Amino acid sequence: MTSPIVPALVPTDEVGVPAVLGEPLPDGSVRCHACAHRCLLRPDRVGICGVRENRDGILRSLVYGRAVAAHVDPIEKKPLFHVAPSTLAYSIATVGCDFHCDFCQNWEIAQAPRLELDLEARRLPPSSAVAEAIHAGASSIAYTYVEPTVFIEYVLDTGRLARPAGLLGLYVSNGYATPEAVALLAEVIDAANVDLKSFDDTFYRRHCGARLAPVLDSLVAMRKAGIWLEVTTLVIPGHTDDPAALRALTAWIVEALGPETPWHVSRFFPAHRMLDVPSTPLATLAEAAEIGRAAGLLHVYVGNAPELGLESTACAGCGQSLLERHGYRTVRRLTPEGTCPRCSRALAGLRLATAASGPMMSAFPCG
């Protein structure tokens, strides 16, 4: 399959391209407004993410078009369960992250600048990313594996080429983008899965180097901007598995984002600096899912635990099975219009109608 090649918006051989959301200050410092840390960068210093630098009073990205990961994944792996089921997502990432989570699954690339790991980066300008996605038969481009806000310039330029090509923009995020960043992202991002890691600010400060409030604000801003949202919570034994905290978290999702917002309960496995914490018991995951349903969430899923069989989608109206998942294989029982065959209720999400003539079909959660 031949894919169209379009010019890159910024040469990928130029390290340190001008970044967006940088505020020059009279003393030569720069304030970065991409994420909620809003780092103040003195000359020749980088932000917390390690990939945004003040060079001669100008904020620059050190990772534009420099991908350390580029893979084709099932869209369900993001996880996004209510977006273009059974399609492929071309997934890209650079190094860097504005969090330093103790339990990070991708710490080698996320923390590479902080740990001074010299990883080989592939030159992948936006035009090439779009061309490769089309060649692979993908329906979307996902910015994932690390926090994509740290390479927002790369996201924006790629998304501006991807959207006219009919590709959805997917954002897998920790939710620390500023309102200014969300406003820019809304131009190119159709759907996002955001980690709501805990409803406890102390947990965020101690284990992620961040705060809870900006994550909640970002989720609301994305919702208001029209970005389809799905939320993931990693249930870590002894840290994020408290039933009362999960009740507060899920009640907030229902009230702030709407009851049809999908909530993914994810099983923890020991990783990075949390190797001494055991995997999440299946009973804990099942209890968390029940807490979400009791709070009023209509679509609750449990990931990394196929034994529980809690990854399929049922109609919120009559309970009819609509999307039956077995690993990353999905059996579709929706009508071609994206509705329940029994009660005709529309399933909330994007590109659920197989006969869609436009770039997407959407139904945003009420609430």
Q: What pLDDT, on a 0 to 100 scale, did the predictor assign at position 358? A: 36
- 354 pLDDT tier (thresholds 50, 70, 90): confident
- Taking alpha carbons only, the member of 100, 50, 106, 48 closest to residue 207 is 100
- 327 pLDDT tier (thresholds 50, 70, 90): confident
Q: What pLDDT, on a 0 to 100 scale, did the predictor assign at position 15? A: 58
Average pLDDT over residues 308-333: 96
Q: What pLDDT, on a 0 to 100 scale, did the predictor assign at position 229? A: 98
Give the strands of the sheet with 22-24, arranged side by side: 22-24, 30-32, 40-41
Share of the chain above pLDDT 90, in %: 91
Could you give the C-alpha distances from 361 to 186, 231, 326, 364, in angstroms and in order? 17, 20, 24, 10
The strand pairing partners of 230, in sequence order, are: 193
Is 241 within 8 Å of 199 (Cβ atoms)? no
**Amino acid (1-letter code) at residue 258:** G
pLDDT at 359 over 70: no
Confirm whether pTM is higher than 0.85.
Answer: yes
Measured distance CA(366)–CA(190) in Å, rounded: 18
pLDDT at 360 over 70: no
